[in-house]
Structure 1
Amino acid sequence: MTRRGMWIVLALLLGGCGPGPDAPTGPAAPRTDEAPRLLAQAEAALERYDRAVAAAGGRPRFVPVGELTGQTGAWEAALADNAKAALGNGHLVVTGAMPDAPAGDGEVIWPNGDRERVGLLSAEDALGRITANRAECPECVALEVTGARLGTMRVSTTRGPATAPAWEFSIKGSAVRVTRLAADGAGTVQVAPPSWDPYNTPAGLAIDSASGSTGGRQLTVGFTGAPQPASEPCGIDYTAKVVESGNAVVVYLIEKRHADNEACTAIGFHRTAVAELARPLGERTVLDVTQGLPVPVTLAS
């Protein structure tokens, strides 16, 4: 489970648990107790991002979001269990020649035709970004990388999905190719999320996606929440609030529960809420309030 997923489950467990079915229930007011903390958390996340933008020399137009390693094709049955574990834990070893970085830049292309030139990594450096977070996996047999070629891959960005340059690595004994974004990341905004611990957890729920338009002032965000609205037992209504700068928008969610002290199951459900912006979104990055990191954005054409 990812760190974000762990916080979502924890939030649902803490928020949905009560003393039992005999506890008194009734209409509950909006949960304003967390609102000041959420606002402060959002403002701190926005400040961190603005500082990171300044350190990067300005806001880049290409900001990839989410997983930057992928694959083409499915693992053969005989390899599947080991290959998934080995790749997921960064257990790859080079046994073939790796190409140097191509001369010149690559190009990121969005569906609306927008383009952005980016510097490119060598195949060895791109592979190093897969193995950099190598984790202990005693049962893993390292995948042998026998070669590489430059291709493209689909990536999520803060401006919607895009096609970007990627290295495709061939694996000994398999038709699968492991892919990794080839953009060198020059000028990339590097944001370090706060260090949370079990005694100091982030307030609120994390959004995992957003959609809108560059010229619009409405932003629809997706997140995991309660299955039912506040009109139903164990239900919750969510109101999306924002803190904005010229670089980014941080979204946080205010909850209104059906009742306090209800005994509810910790079942998450995909929910959405609409935030109103002070000015059009433009090319600003959308951040979640728990980690202060960018989320994928889908922009209307």
Structure 2
Amino acid sequence: MRQQAGDALARYDEAFRAAGGAPFVPVGELTRQLGDWEPATGDYKETLSAGLVEAASTLPGVPEAAGSIVWATGTSQDVRLISADEALAQLRAAATGDCSGCAPLKVTGARLTTVTVPTTRGLATVPAWEYTLDRTAVRLARAAVDPSAIVRVTPPPWDADHPHEGLAIESATTTTTSRELTVTFTGAPGPSSKPCGVDYGAEAAESDLAVVVIVIEYRHAEDEACPAVGAQRSTTVELSRPLGERAVLEVKQGLPVGLTISG
């Protein structure tokens, strides 16, 4: 896992520099569904998951003025924006579903607004295009930030002979001055003092740009036959220095996780 962590730090450093040192590192997807599908449009969910969305009319172009990403801490960053067509193309490209034979959703208009996005520096308010759709009150939103300003980490390819090891953390919490980082993850429900229980510790691999957290398991016993039941667990790791603006990454794929900064 230490080797995985070192590789993850190297990939993140490369992605960060490829984006020109951009501070915007979103966690998860940049598309939002606003509202719920009506009974008559329930099958639109599969259509959207397949990225079958197309414009039925001319959409707004690139805004003349730059946009701003504003973090919950009050810091901000000016960024170039993209057109509604470009953002819609990114929405389609991010699709992972399959809906062969489905008719595309029709976009009837778009307006520039904002959405809240989890990032490696906490929640951020981000410029976004909001799309109206034909025959439904559901709207779609997609971040309008130019891709050159976004740090995107590519996970390593799956290798069945050498699967990625370790527990992937899901979120992290710290303060502006503390060296302690508390992480959450899905683990065993009970402590190691009980059958099938596990206690957890952690260690961190660090660079100037990111931190990878390795969760360490202390099991009640090896090779126990245990039910496949998980619970949210947490543990705290001490860093060599306060986190600052560094990203927190999980160890299995090296992807960034959401951060909460308090105090």
C-alpha deviations, 1:250-279, integer Å up to 9, x for none? 001111100112110111211111111000
Partner residue, 2:168: 206
8 Å Cα contact 1:214/1:283 also seen in 2: no
8 Å Cα contact 2:249/2:255 also seen in 1: yes
| 2:17 aligned partner, one-letter code | A
Partner residue, 1:193: 155
Find 1:54's aligned residue among 13, 17, 27: 17
* TM-score between the two structures when normalised by the length of structure 1: 0.83
Partner residue, 1:22: none
Cα distance, 1:235 vs structure 2: 0.7
C-alpha deviations, 1:95-150, integer Å up to 9, x for none? 12210010121111222322111111100000001111454312533211111111
CA distance in 2, matches of 1:213, 1:136: 42
3-state SS of 2:140 partner? strand
CA distance in 2, matches of 1:112, 1:188: 19
Alignment of structure 1 residues 137-286 onto 2, 5 Å: 137-138=99-100, 140-286=102-248
CA distance in 2, matches of 1:43, 1:110: 29
CA distance in 1, matches of 2:119, 2:148: 16
CA distance in 2, matches of 1:117, 1:185: 13
CA distance in 2, matches of 1:156, 1:91: 26
Partner residue, 2:26: 64
Partner residue, 1:119: 80
| 1:91 aligned partner, one-letter code | L
Partner residue, 1:106: 67
Partner residue, 1:23: none
Alignment of structure 1 residues 66-81 onto 2, 5 Å: 66-80=28-42
Cα distance, 1:194 vs structure 2: 1.0
CA distance in 2, matches of 1:143, 1:78: 14
With a CA cutoff of 8 Å and minimum separation of 6, indicate the structure with the bigger relative contact order: 1
CA distance in 1, matches of 2:114, 2:246: 25
Cα distance, 1:249 vs structure 2: 0.4
Task: Give 5+ residue unaligned stretches, structure 2.
Answer: none
CA distance in 2, matches of 1:125, 1:56: 18
Partner residue, 1:13: none
3-state SS of 2:89 partner? helix
8 Å Cα contact 1:204/1:252 also seen in 2: yes
3-state SS of 1:125 partner? helix
CA distance in 2, matches of 1:259, 1:269: 19
Partner residue, 1:21: none
Query: What's the RMSD between the two structures over aligned residues?
Result: 1.4
Partner residue, 1:43: 6
**Which entry has the higher C-alpha Rg, 1 or 2?**
1
Partner residue, 2:56: 95
3-state SS of 2:147 partner? coil
Q: Which moved more, 1:182-191 or 1:239-248?
A: 182-191
8 Å Cα contact 2:26/2:151 also seen in 1: no
CA distance in 1, matches of 2:18, 2:85: 27
Cα distance, 1:202 vs structure 2: 0.4
3-state SS of 2:243 partner? coil
CA distance in 1, matches of 2:142, 2:235: 33
CA distance in 2, matches of 1:56, 1:67: 18
Cα distance, 1:284 vs structure 2: 0.4
Partner residue, 2:90: 129
CA distance in 2, matches of 1:178, 1:53: 28
